[in-house]
Chain A
């Protein structure tokens, strides 16, 4: 069990090193002649006005809230799904009820018009 996670740990380290190798190699052999025009931000030939890191309206904000609810739900559903074979039918139906409550939330958001692009 511990060995499995040791394996994943080594895998992560090598997995990050592998893509760095071509980048380092590229830095060694590629030409480097930067100038202000070359380094300017691309915007279809127009000169850039202002910074890009501005506050921007995320129109899918409500979707993100609904996502959060469902993402937490699925975390609870995994243990339920894993032990389904040992559980009696009654407990399985309780899990279905749990899904039903969340679907009611989705239906509520839908009826309120929260799932429209505004």
Chain B
């Protein structure tokens, strides 16, 4: 029963008794227990990553009206394992002019930058790596490391296409990090903490997605941009620069980039769940009723969390497979002229309203937050429509041909 309620502390306590019983010092015991715990967590993440390859291939197949892998194992489940064996026994080609050290560092960083995010990912109230009090800043820092892996890999390949891909990734990073960080301030304000556990607990009554739907949308867009997935996959635009930053990578090194991208997308789905959808909890107070108390079980919470993370991953995939790639100048303009100002407006709105509405009863606070977001969203859409109308008029003035066409149509 003890194991079911608090598995990590139960096993850790048992091992601590065992190891100190052997005569080891307290500090060394802590290090050994951490070592084993971390290895188990990382192995879990890597196995999940392998299954994500299967999920990704199945889902993209459905989007493109195909069946996807279905030959090896039930529903093709063994396919990713076969892929890994193929990638490992492939010859690994390093171009002659490449910077050897950085060339090998790129794919290693690609995986490592994602794995270190799992240190703070709260799978449930009892199953998690560590509850940092600066977790939100840690998320930003580790996210920047992932971008660095692409820049390092692209530069070290000594290939012009790869260099262009790395260049574009820099443009991507220096833009979309701003709305990302600004939007991360909003759960921090609402929960009054940067710790992911406290942010999750603050949402046991109401999700932050309802308090600030605009923040959720901005976070999703900037997360996709930071991942470098379509429609922001300019760093590997196959129609222009062939494969971008990973053009010279083959064999297992390419496999690591690919696996890193998938796990990164899933992890950001997980953080979207933590920051906006209540993480492992967020049942709107349902778990406090006696009949539903089983929702507080750490294993049930972990399943709920993984389901929410998978939902976020699916949304990211959905956008990836239904949107065309955007041009780089449009990408920069979209960020600096639209997303950043909007993120700052939402931030100011949240900060002031959370202060002004603090005296109101709970329902007043929730309704005020929600409708202020709706109003901001409505005004934004109206401004965009007015701008579009103005531009269409200017275009019509420039070319009398199209104006004539419009008159005829009228």
Q: What's the Cα separation between A17 and B92 when bound, in Å?
A: 19
Q: Check A43/B159 contact, CB under 8 A, given A26-B92, A36-B96, A96-B348.
A: yes
Contacts of B332 in A (CB 8 A): 60, 63, 115, 117
Q: What's the Cα separation between A52 and B97 when bound, in Å?
A: 9
Q: Check A41/B351 contact, CB under 8 A, given A7-B129, A23-B104, A51-B97.
A: no
Q: Check A99/B348 contact, CB under 8 A, given A71-B177, A82-B188.
A: yes
B161-196 CB mask vs A (1 if < 8 Å, else 0) is: 111000100110011011001100100110011100
Return the contact of B185 from the options A32, A52, A81, A117 (Cβ within 8 A): A81
Return the contact of A78 from the options B115, B132, B170, B188 (Cβ within 8 A): B188
Contacts of A23 in B (CB 8 A): 104, 107-108, 252-253, 256
Contacts of B337 in A (CB 8 A): 110, 115
Q: What's the Cα separation between A23 and B109 when bound, in Å?
A: 13
Return the contact of B31 from the options A10, A38, A56, A106 (Cβ within 8 A): A10
Q: Are B46 and A106 in contact (CB under 8 A)?
A: no
Q: Which residue of B lies closest to A18 (CB)?
A: B42
Q: What's the Cα separation between A23 and B137 when bound, in Å?
A: 31
Kindly state whether residue B326 has any CB partner on chain A within 8 Å.
Answer: no
Q: Are A7 and B130 in contact (CB under 8 A)?
A: yes
Q: Which residue of A lies closest to B137 (CB)?
A: A78
Q: What's the Cα separation between A39 and B130 when bound, in Å?
A: 44
Residues of A within 8 A of B (CB): 3-4, 6-8, 10-12, 14-16, 18-20, 22-23, 25-27, 29-34, 36, 38-44, 48, 51-53, 56, 58, 60, 63-64, 66-67, 70-71, 74, 77-78, 81-82, 84-85, 87, 89, 92-93, 95-96, 99, 103, 106, 110, 115-117
Q: Are A103 and B351 in contact (CB under 8 A)?
A: no
Return the contact of B355 from the options A11, A20, A36, A84 (Cβ within 8 A): A84
Contacts of B212 in A (CB 8 A): none
Q: Are B129 and A30 in contact (CB under 8 A)?
A: no
- Smallest beta-carbon distance A83→chain B, Å: 9
- Smallest beta-carbon distance B192→chain A, Å: 5
Contacts of B130 in A (CB 8 A): 4, 7-8, 11
Q: What's the Cα separation between A68 and B221 when bound, in Å?
A: 21
Return the contact of A96 from the options B108, B155, B175, B351 (Cβ within 8 A): B351
Residues of B within 8 A of A (CB): 30-31, 34-35, 38-39, 42, 46, 84, 87-97, 104, 107-108, 110-112, 115-116, 119, 129-132, 136-137, 155, 157-163, 167, 170-171, 174-175, 177-178, 181-182, 185, 188-189, 192-194, 242, 247-248, 251-253, 255-256, 328-329, 332-333, 336-337, 340-341, 344, 347-348, 351-352, 354-356, 358
Contacts of A32 in B (CB 8 A): 91-92
Q: What's the Cα separation between A110 and B333 when bound, in Å?
A: 10
Q: What's the Cα separation between A3 and B333 when bound, in Å?
A: 44
- Smallest beta-carbon distance B224→chain A, Å: 19
Sample (9) of A-B pairs whose CB atoms are under 8 Å apart: A22-B252, A30-B252, A51-B97, A52-B158, A67-B177, A81-B189, A84-B351, A92-B352, A96-B352
Contacts of B38 in A (CB 8 A): 7, 10-11, 14
Contacts of B87 in A (CB 8 A): 26
Q: Check A7/B348 contact, CB under 8 A, given A15-B42, A40-B95, A51-B97.
A: no
Q: Are B107 and A19 in contact (CB under 8 A)?
A: yes
Q: Are A20 and B108 in contact (CB under 8 A)?
A: yes
Q: Check A30/B188 contact, CB under 8 A, given A14-B39, A60-B332, A117-B329.
A: no
Q: What's the Cα separation between A42 and B98 when bound, in Å?
A: 12
Q: Which residue of A lies closest to B140 (CB)?
A: A74
Contacts of A71 in B (CB 8 A): 177-178, 181
- Smallest beta-carbon distance A85→chain B, Å: 5
Q: Are B159 and A63 in contact (CB under 8 A)?
A: no
Q: Check A56/B167 contact, CB under 8 A, given A27-B92, A44-B242.
A: yes
Q: What's the Cα separation between A106 and B333 when bound, in Å?
A: 12
Q: What's the Cα separation between A69 and B115 when bound, in Å?
A: 30
Contacts of A93 in B (CB 8 A): 352
Q: Check A84/B189 contact, CB under 8 A, given A7-B129, A63-B336.
A: yes
